[in-house]
Amino acid sequence: MAYELYYWDGIQGRGEFVRLALEEAGASYIDVTREPGRGTGEMMEIMKSGSGSDIPFAPPFLKDGDLIISHVANILFYLGAKLDLAPKHDTARYVLNGLQLTITDFVAEVHDTHHPIATSLYYEDQKEEAKARSGEFIKERIPKFFGYFERVIANNPKGPAHISGDKLTYVDLSLFQVLKGLRYAFPKAMKGSAETYPLLQALHDRVEQRPNIAAYLKSARRLAFNVNGIFRHYPELDKAA
């Protein structure tokens, strides 16, 4: 039975972190809101009409049979062992989940660069605040997070080919997506990042060259970054680090 992924159509968004794992594993899945005859209405109905504790607050969420799992890190924690993208041992899985949760924090800060006041307001309604938030994000937060992940890779006892252990995990895929997204959103700020964080760059390149990921990136399933997603390029927010 195919997994069913529920997320907004037209953007990569947070759903892309789950898609990358499914694509790398060659898993059978349905991107529900992109399916003819299904769409966003079905997703909203699940969020409104559920009667159990598994009612999702917001997309993305994943259906595996009757089971509904919400939140990116939680979905990936569930899929990791199933798709051979996480260690089998519980201790290592919890460590990996902690890294993914740190990425969740990072992605939330990315979102807040263009919506620092409220998600209910348009970007144009908070542009000046967004400029201030983006400046701080570029100066302080990108180095903080990238420096942390660079150190984790450097200290991996199994070597620097992966963020954790000696084989690809879903966190490697998520870091790839973060680097891609930030280079779209902040090209000036990200200039030189490959030299500053060489281990992160090497990890990005290895992921990009994996056969299933390379094929996905060339396919119609991989939507382009745009100014409706999390990673948005507004030239007025971008500046050299």
Say if 176 falls within a structural domain.
Answer: yes
- How distant, in Å, are the alpha carbons of 80, 97, 142, 175, 237 from that of 187? 31, 29, 13, 17, 10
pLDDT over 90 at 233, yes or no = yes
**Domain-ending residue, one of 82, 106, 129:** 82
Cβ-count burial of 197 within 10 angstroms (0-12 exposed, 13-18 middle, 19+ buried)? buried
CATH of the domain at 36: 3.40.30.10
Where is average pLDDT lowest: 12-21, 41-50, 103-112, 147-156? 41-50
What is the number of structural domains in the chain?
Answer: 2
Per the structure, the complete domain to which residue 50 belongs is given by 3-82
Q: Is the peptide bond before 116 cis (omega within 30 degrees of 0)?
A: no
CB 32 within 8 A of CB 6: yes
46 pLDDT tier (thresholds 50, 70, 90): very high
Say if 26 falls within a structural domain.
Answer: yes
pLDDT over 70 at 51, yes or no = no
216 pLDDT tier (thresholds 50, 70, 90): very high
> Do 105 and 187 lie in a common domain?
yes
State residue 47's pLDDT score.
92
**Domain-ending residue, one of 82, 109, 131:** 82
State residue 172's pLDDT score.
98
CATH of the domain at 101: 1.20.1050.10
State residue 49's pLDDT score.
81
> Do 94 and 159 lie in a common domain?
yes
Largest Cα separation within the chain, whole Å, is 51
Say if 27 falls within a structural domain.
Answer: yes
- Mean of pLDDT over the chain: 96
State residue 1's pLDDT score.
85
50 pLDDT tier (thresholds 50, 70, 90): low
> Do 57 and 147 lie in a common domain?
no
Q: Distance (Å, rounded) from C-alpha 119 to C-alpha 115?
A: 6
**Residue whose C-alpha is closest to residue 187's, from 232, 147, 227:** 232
pLDDT over 70 at 221, yes or no = yes
Average of per-residue pLDDT across 103-118: 98
Tens-place pLDDT, residues 98-110: 999 999 999 999 9
> Do 99 and 22 lie in a common domain?
no
State residue 241's pLDDT score.
83
> Do 167 and 62 lie in a common domain?
no
Say if 187 falls within a structural domain.
Answer: yes
54 pLDDT tier (thresholds 50, 70, 90): confident
Tens-place pLDDT, residues 136-162: 999 999 999 999 999 999 999 999 999
**Residue whose C-alpha is closest to residue 221's, from 4, 48, 35:** 35
> Do 55 and 117 lie in a common domain?
no
Say if 236 falls within a structural domain.
Answer: no
pLDDT over 90 at 17, yes or no = yes
pLDDT over 70 at 92, yes or no = yes
Say if 28 falls within a structural domain.
Answer: yes
> Do 64 and 123 lie in a common domain?
no
CB 76 within 8 A of CB 70: no
> Do 108 and 201 lie in a common domain?
yes
CB atoms within 10 A of CB 137: 23
* pTM for the full predicted model: 0.96
> Do 95 and 206 lie in a common domain?
yes
> Do 78 and 153 lie in a common domain?
no
Question: ∠16-72-214 over CA atoms, to 5°?
Answer: 30
Say if 238 falls within a structural domain.
Answer: no
> Which residues pair with residue 63 across a beta bridge?
4, 68
**Domain-ending residue, one of 50, 82, 114:** 82
Question: ∠207-210-213 over CA atoms, to 5°?
Answer: 80
Average of per-residue pLDDT across 205-223: 98
> Do 23 and 51 lie in a common domain?
yes
Say if 228 falls within a structural domain.
Answer: no
State residue 90's pLDDT score.
86
Average of per-residue pLDDT across 34-63: 88
Percent of the chain beyond pLDDT 90?
93
> Do 99 and 205 lie in a common domain?
yes
